[in-house]
Structure 1
Amino acid sequence: MEIDGVEVAFSEGETILEVAQRHEKEIPTLCYDPRLEPFGGCRLCIVELEGARNPVASCTTKTTEGMVVRTATDTIEAYRKTLLEMVVSENREVDVSPLRGYAASELADLRDKYAVNGTRMTGAKSGANKTDENPFILRDYELCISCYRCVRVCAEQEGDHAINVMNRGFHTQITTEFDGLLKDSACTFCGQCIQTCPTGALADKKALRAADEIGDAIPDKTRTICPYCGVGCSVDILTQDEKIVGIHPAMDGPANQGALCVKGQFAYDFVHHSDRLKTPLVRGDDGDLHEATWEDALDKAAEGFRKVNAEHGRHSIYGIASGRAPSEAAYMMQKFIRVGFGTNYIDNCSRA
């Protein structure tokens, strides 16, 4: 097939968009997520197909031998700009904090690329916010563009079907069963809907607490592995001034491909919590805990292990590693039990 005058190869079943992306052709999308079945709703990915009466959606059109495709003609780019103007005109705002979610700035980036100012088309705003008591997910549907990525990722990737679509046209809304609270639905608070939303209509409530603190600063990203279980999900830790302000799943993570559970997505407050111990505590003869040096604390712990082992045998000692500790700490913990005491009495708190 031919794309923009260049002959390219394709595999059976591939779409025009997939082939174009593989050959580094920029085709804008808003409703597209490579992990989901193509939807063709936003129409931003339209291209000219020789022999076709009208432009076609590249995300849903399968490639065939001899196709001749043009991805960025003046007419196509004008269509895209008009579509973006209509989308932007319905939203309360387009510029949102990057802490809202992984894809939250996609609409803003396209608006800037096509120099859409949002003033040529005006009118009523669609969408209504949902006041939800859950601590994790903000549902700001005044920013929703009905791309349905949240609905589709919940159904196709998670299999939860916790959210769906109600009404049609301008009155389309994303909703739960009987339009109730998210916490009363089948939602597992994995956060996948947040991370696929291209406008920030769904947002990470916990991360947004730090939005005012960091302002326009772009948080640093550090790739690591979630320690909460043995799956090995890849995550990007967002930090500002050495403080964790949010978590993004790694879309290219080999084990998770953008998916996380509720713990991997939201359970990071303990790292900087005011109750977290900063020095070892050792119980004295008076029965109270007192601050101690690491040397004294480790000597005290070693003495206790030796005493129990001598009096009751190796099977009296059992280790439980913490899912909040790094993976290296879990490895050392099992070595300590298996090599140090010759037993397999070791488990992890997050195994269940």
Structure 2
Amino acid sequence: MSTITIDGQSVPFEDGETIYEVSRRLERDVPTLCYDDRLEAFGACRLCVVELEGARNPVASCTTMAADGMVVRTATEAIERHRKTLMDLVVSENPKGARIDPLRGLASQELAHLAVRYESDGSRFVGKQSGTSRPDDTNPMILRDYDNCISCYRCVRVCAEREGDYAISVANRGFETQITTEFAGLLEDSDCTFCGQCVQTCPTGALGDLRSMEAQDQPGEFEKTRSICPYCGVGCSVDILTKNEKIVGVQPAMDGPANLGALCVKGQFGWDWVDSDERLTQPLVRKDGKLVPASWEEAWERAAKGFKSVVEKHGRHAVYAVASGRAPHESAYSVQKFVRYGFGTNYVDNCSRA
């Protein structure tokens, strides 16, 4: 069996594993800003560099394949100085993104936490900055604050590699580098499907969930509850974010077996109806052509009489039910059970079947 020695510990590895993957398996704290498990390793930020015995210079652990007999050191004094310099360079280019800020729409703040770790405040290499924000983008879902961008390209790569949309790309070079859409337009005019994958992978808060940002100044603590998206039959795992028992955001579960961190626009952003003021709070029945409030007893009685008269006049196949993707799974189950058991037919559907 092939083995690699990391920080004095010999460990077996499988063909195709990188030094970074093996190091993480050993719970070594190797930092990175451009790495995402779901994407092909890119090696752009170089923060994951390690010392490799026999190599002239430090190597990027995320793109260097493990080989039998390698001897690696992940946290020597020289390596930490190297990482410190890299962080100082990154933070000096976009110091705004290196501040820990709770008002960023629950976006990741990997850069901010690493800046604290390496005591990088942007003062070491003061100079020109890159990235131009798009406050003119009026879409109500995704913040595009490129003053925080560090050009790690994770958003571009997740859009291409995971979604296959290729809605965003990189324009220009050097300090003129800019994350953009085709013809530098708005997201709604591009091929963007508003899946939110770019928000979830961004390490700086340059991309954020605008809807969840609105809840940042509300009182109470954020709570996260694992659930299943009801919109279709795929069964995507989601983490529902709440404050004082009110939904303020939805995030895809990165370990969800059906979606692995992916969601569609409905699953990601279509949650505000839950607490909508327009939702019914009691049954309504039609009287003199108008819907008026009624008791549950009256509503049930009217519904029963209606079903009975239809079946007597037209037969059981005249009854057809459509369940809603906005209802709980238990409600969908009850609807199909009601039709199949109560009327002996399979005339049931769901508006969001996949």
For this structure pair, what is the TM-score category when the shorter chain's length is used for normalisation? over 0.9
Q: CA deviation at 1:211?
A: 2.0
Q: Which residue of 2 aligns with 1:57?
A: 60
Q: CA deviation at 1:123?
A: 2.4
Is the aligned partner of 1:226 residue 2:229? yes
Amino acid at match of 2:73: R
Q: Which residue of 2 aligns with 1:249?
A: 252
Residue from 151, 154, 169 that aligns with 1:146: 151
Tell me whether 145-154 or 79-88 shows the greater mean CA deviation: 79-88
Distance 1:321 1:198 in 2: 39
Q: Which residue of 1 aligns with 2:32?
A: 29
Compared CA separation, residues 218 and 78, structure 1 to 2 (3 A): farther
Distance 1:265 1:196 in 2: 14
Q: Which residue of 2 aligns with 1:200?
A: 205
Distance 1:294 1:107 in 2: 54
Q: Give TM-score, length-normalised by structure 1.
A: 0.95
Within a 5 Å distance, the mapping from 1:97-176 to structure 2 comes to: 97=102, 100-102=105-107, 104-130=108-134, 131-176=136-181
Amino acid at match of 1:332: S
**CA displacement 1:307-347 (0-9 Å, x = unmatched):** 21121111111111100011121111111111111111111
Q: Secondary structure at the match of 2:12?
A: coil
Q: CA deviation at 1:272?
A: 0.8
Amino acid at match of 2:250: I
Q: Which residue of 2 aligns with 1:178?
A: 183
Tell me whether 296-305 or 320-329 shows the greater mean CA deviation: 296-305
Q: Secondary structure at the match of 1:212?
A: coil
Q: Which residue of 2 aligns with 1:293?
A: 295
Distance 1:120 1:45 in 2: 21
**CA displacement 1:38-97 (0-9 Å, x = unmatched):** 000011100000000000000000000000000111111111122112212222243233
Q: Which residue of 2 aligns with 1:312?
A: 314
Compared CA separation, residues 327 and 99, structure 1 to 2 (3 A): farther
Tell me whether 298-307 or 67-76 shows the greater mean CA deviation: 298-307
Identity %: 64
Q: Secondary structure at the match of 1:320?
A: strand
Q: Which residue of 2 aligns with 1:17?
A: 20
Distance 1:184 1:170 in 2: 26
Tell me whether 224-233 or 82-91 shows the greater mean CA deviation: 82-91
Distance 2:101 2:132 in 1: 17
Q: Secondary structure at the match of 1:138?
A: strand
Do 2:221 and 2:244's aligned partners in 1 also have CA atoms closer than 8 Å? Answer: no
Residue from 70, 76, 98 that aligns with 2:79: 76
How large is the RMSD of aligned CA atoms in angstroms? 1.5
Q: Which consecutive unaligned segments of at least 5 residues does structure 2 have?
A: none
Q: Secondary structure at the match of 2:85?
A: helix
Q: Give TM-score, length-normalised by structure 2.
A: 0.95
Q: Secondary structure at the match of 1:100?
A: coil
Amino acid at match of 1:133: T
Distance 1:46 1:351 in 2: 47
Q: Which consecutive unaligned segments of at least 5 residues does structure 1 have?
A: none
**CA displacement 1:183-204 (0-9 Å, x = unmatched):** 1111111110111001110111
Is the aligned partner of 1:281 residue 2:284? yes
Is the aligned partner of 1:267 residue 2:280? no
Residue from 331, 334, 337 that aligns with 1:335: 337
Do 2:106 and 2:213's aligned partners in 1 also have CA atoms closer than 8 Å? Answer: no
Q: CA deviation at 1:101?
A: 4.6
Compared CA separation, residues 188 and 283, structure 1 to 2 (3 A): same
> Aligned residues, how many?
348
Q: Which residue of 1 aligns with 2:218?
A: 213
Q: Secondary structure at the match of 1:213?
A: coil
Do 1:16 and 1:62's aligned partners in 2 also have CA atoms closer than 8 Å? Answer: yes
Compared CA separation, residues 72 and 98, structure 1 to 2 (3 A): farther
Distance 2:299 2:129 in 1: 62
Distance 1:176 1:86 in 2: 27
Q: CA deviation at 1:270?
A: 0.4
Distance 1:278 1:110 in 2: 48
Is the aligned partner of 1:43 residue 2:46? yes
Q: CA deviation at 1:112?
A: 2.1
Q: CA deviation at 1:303?
A: 2.0
Q: Secondary structure at the match of 1:211?
A: coil
Compared CA separation, residues 98 and 58, structure 1 to 2 (3 A): farther
